[in-house]
Structure 1
Amino acid sequence: MSKSKATKPLAQKISSSFSEKIRRPRQAPRSRAKTETEPAPPRDFLRLVTFNIEHGTPQAGWSDPDVGSLKLPWNDKELGVYWLTRGLAQLLGPRSLSARAAVAKKALEDTARIIRKLNPDVVCLQEVDKGQRRSGYIPQAEFLSEALGMPYWRMAAAWAGPAYTVHRRPLHAHITRENGYGLAMMSRWPVKSWHFKRLGKARPRLRWGRGTWTGFSKGLLAGLRSLPQAIAGVKLVFGQMRVLQAARVLTPFGTVAIGNIHLETHRGVAQSQLRRSWRSVFDLNHDNCVLVGDFNLREDTSTEALQLLDEAMLPEIHGLVASYPSEKAWIPLDQLLARGWTFAAEPRTIRMPISDHLAVIYDLKPAK
């Protein structure tokens, strides 16, 4: 585990309606054996774990190759085999679906075992798959909630449909029969209400390659000479739908509004999404609210975004700890904002069997 810094006040008063309260759907009968909820030990703090699980990808990668993601061969003689293999892969999944499912299940079980030892009150997950070929068709949110013994859980789908084809807007935020991808939140304590908000996505944009092109500011010839190096590796990047998931959780410290987010990789869009998300969670409970998740922002850019908020809405604490990449973390992507709370301990991270992120543990105690 590694420790890091935390704290900083910030934020703004803008009322924006946020709701779409979601009816709690009937829980389908489950065939797997349930893990009994362990009694929570008496303690004077609330423990939140936020983790971008990268749809359950093991640290060492998948041991069974997914033939659906093969690169196009340059040898013309192999093209027929390639397209046949890819077509079958799209229909049948990885080369061995049973092998992929077994690897995915084992990785999630090992992850759940570690999280269970942390004894968290609330777990917020990002990049969660449901029924996707790449992750063995496992409903990851349901699987982990059962493995952790957390009976109050919900998935918030950013989109529905297969990961490798056209996405569509889900019929319901908490998808039950569709496959999809998004966020998940699970709690040891009862949830009074669930909330969901679509945050939109960034426009398609060009991402430059090795060099940065400054245009023709230094003359026509200089601009033309520098263009090839800048173009090398350039690609068109499409935005991805982002959502906010929130819940009013009935904890021993009262009702807490907790939000879970995974923001865009485009800095300006992510800053706007962060402000909108914080306002929405703040509206649920002005005096007792928390927002966690993968902000996709550095410390300075998230602070810059929050400075546009009204003083009455500013977060009282800002949790930061290096959590990405998992091999040698140095970027604090997985952050926390809160009002009505202080840190009971320094935020810390732990490496899991899955993901390119570290899981982050935040221990909070009431400020008053």
Structure 2
Amino acid sequence: MATRALRLLSANIQAGSSTRGYSDYVARSWSHVLPMGKRGSLDLIARLAGEHDIVGLQESDPGSLRSGFVCQTHYLAQRGGFDYWTHQPNRRVGGVASSANGLLSKLEPREVIHHSLPGRVKGRGVLLARFGDSPDALLVAVAHLSLGAGSRLSQLTFIAELLHNHPNAVLMGDFNCAVEAPEMAALFRGTRLQPPTCTVPTFPSWRPLRAIDHILIGDGLRCAEPRALAAAQSDHLALSLQLEVPESALE
């Protein structure tokens, strides 16, 4: 069966903010409401993203005070050489800060759908892109899950319904939990997504101890083991992997 190699990246970019230790959450709290210093970080992230074919973003500011009213997903698409991009704004705190899931792609998606996710606190979503026209077309979902286990369970159950029985599905993002977490069982039970053969710690970026960012793939796909890469000075490392996709899933 003919396949095509694609490079995927999932990155929580923390809206371009810089966090080099827990003390920065306080000492650099201004960076979460003011735009200074973010352009250089975004340029570094764009350089990393540009080495990939499909990129899922979390905590990409869609245009508020802290980003200088710049849509960061669009900025990264332009700087990274992506012809196709979309974003899903999820949370807005007045005009000061806002957050979105984003997708950058060098392949044209046939369809992009934005879904709101359930949860105790509203404001989470999953962005779903379909590449190809066949029933088994490549599906790529980008999500940023809640901090609470109960909300994550309802969100993963919802996502499982979207990706149910699909062999060529990819789910990437910041899950805020390890793959061994009890709520993840609902996802694996309800889909053909496979637990990774190894876990890669991504948080905190300056001393990664927790594997809470994931790229999960269906059993119709093959991949090389993921690698953790610095996304400028975000508090998360990004995950990169090479995916082998059946050509038929892209037609």
Which of 265, 271, 274 is 2:153 aligned to? 271
Deviation at 1:200, TM superposition (A): 2.7
TM-score normalised according to structure 1 size: 0.58
Structure 1 gaps of 5+ residues are 1-42, 70-92, 165-178, 203-238
Instruction: Write the letter of the residue equivalent to 1:298.
Output: A
Does the residue aligned with 1:329 lie in a helix, a strand or coil? Answer: coil
**Highest Rg: 1 or 2?**
1
Pairs within 5 Å for 1:8-47:
44-47=4-7
Query: Is 1:326–1:358's contact at 8 Å kept on the other side of the alignment?
Result: yes
Deviation at 1:311, TM superposition (A): 5.5
Instruction: Write the letter of the residue equivalent to 1:139.
Output: C
1:110 aligned to 2:44? yes
Question: How many angstroms apart in 1 are the aligned matches of 2:56 and 2:141?
Answer: 9
1:313 aligned to 2:156? no
Query: Is 1:47–1:362's contact at 8 Å kept on the other side of the alignment?
Result: yes
Instruction: Write the letter of the residue equivalent to 2:16.
Output: G
Deviation at 1:134, TM superposition (A): 2.1
Q: Which residue does the alignment assign to 1:122?
A: 54
Pairs within 5 Å for 1:61-76:
none
Q: Which residue does the alignment assign to 2:105?
A: 187
Give the superposed CA RMSD: 3.0
Q: Which residue does the alignment assign to 2:137?
A: 255
> 1:232-274 deviations in whole A, cap 9, x for unaligned?
xxxxxxx3511010100249xx831100000000012112212
- Overall identity of the aligned pairs, in %: 25
Does the residue aligned with 1:324 lie in a helix, a strand or coil? Answer: coil
Query: Is 2:160–2:190's contact at 8 Å kept on the other side of the alignment?
Result: no
Does the residue aligned with 1:45 lie in a helix, a strand or coil? Answer: strand
Deviation at 1:67, TM superposition (A): 6.6
Structure 1 residues 271 and 348: alpha-carbon distance in aligned structure 2, compared to 1, 3 A threshold:
same
Structure 1 residues 163 and 261: alpha-carbon distance in aligned structure 2, compared to 1, 3 A threshold:
farther
Query: Is 1:240–1:264's contact at 8 Å kept on the other side of the alignment?
Result: no
Query: Is 1:278–1:291's contact at 8 Å kept on the other side of the alignment?
Result: no
Query: Is 1:133–1:162's contact at 8 Å kept on the other side of the alignment?
Result: no
Structure 1 residues 68 and 149: alpha-carbon distance in aligned structure 2, compared to 1, 3 A threshold:
closer
Deviation at 1:313, TM superposition (A): 3.0
Deviating beyond 4 angstroms after TM superposition, the runs of 4 or more aligned structure 1 residues are 64-69, 309-312
> 1:4-63 deviations in whole A, cap 9, x for unaligned?
xxxxxxxxxxxxxxxxxxxxxxxxxxxxxxxxxxxxxxx94221100001111024569x
TM-score normalised according to structure 2 size: 0.82
Tell me the number of residue pairs that the alignment of Structure 1 and Structure 2 aligns: 237
Instruction: Write the letter of the residue equivalent to 1:123.
Output: V
Structure 2 gaps of 5+ residues are none
Q: Which residue does the alignment assign to 2:240?
A: 361
